């Protein structure tokens, strides 16, 4: 998967977790929590969705790498580089 494909996957997960949020103006470098009303359970839902969909392990000490879209894509790119895009 490319960075843009990962970004799209993360956006789809965010849409499911926070359906009332407007994600059109989401800034990649700003933390999700500053831009959206996400609590810690929502954040864990994001991690679980990624784990379920792509069978990747994200250790708790790496959660800080999922703070913003930019950091999430950077963190997931090497982990998902060999994963084909679902059609």
Parse the chain into domains and list their residue ranges. Answer: 3-80
**Topology of the domain covering 3-80:** 1.10.1200
pTM comes to 0.88
pLDDT digits (tens, 9 = 90+) for 56-71: 999 999 999 999 999 9
Tens of pLDDT along 3-34?
999 999 999 999 999 999 999 999 999 999 89
What tokens were used for 20? 């009332």
Count CB atoms within 10 A of the CB of residue 23: 14
3-state secondary structure the chain: CCHHHHHHHHHHHHHHHCCCCCCCCCCCCCEHHHHCCCCHHHHHHHHHHHHHHHCCCCCHHHHHHHCEHHHHHHHHHHHHCCCCCCC
pLDDT at 84 over 90: no
């Amino acid at each position: 998967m490319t960075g843009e494909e990962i970004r799209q996957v993360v956006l789809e997960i965010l849409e499911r977790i926070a359906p009332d949020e407007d994600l059109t103006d989401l800034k990649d470098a700003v933390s999700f929590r500053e831009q959206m009303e996400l609590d810690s359970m929502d954040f864990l839902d994001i991690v679980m969705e990624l784990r379920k969909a792509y069978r990747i392990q994200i250790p708790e000490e790496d959660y800080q790498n999922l703070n913003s879209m930019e950091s999430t894509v950077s963190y997931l790119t090497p982990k998902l580089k060999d994963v084909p895009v679902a059609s």
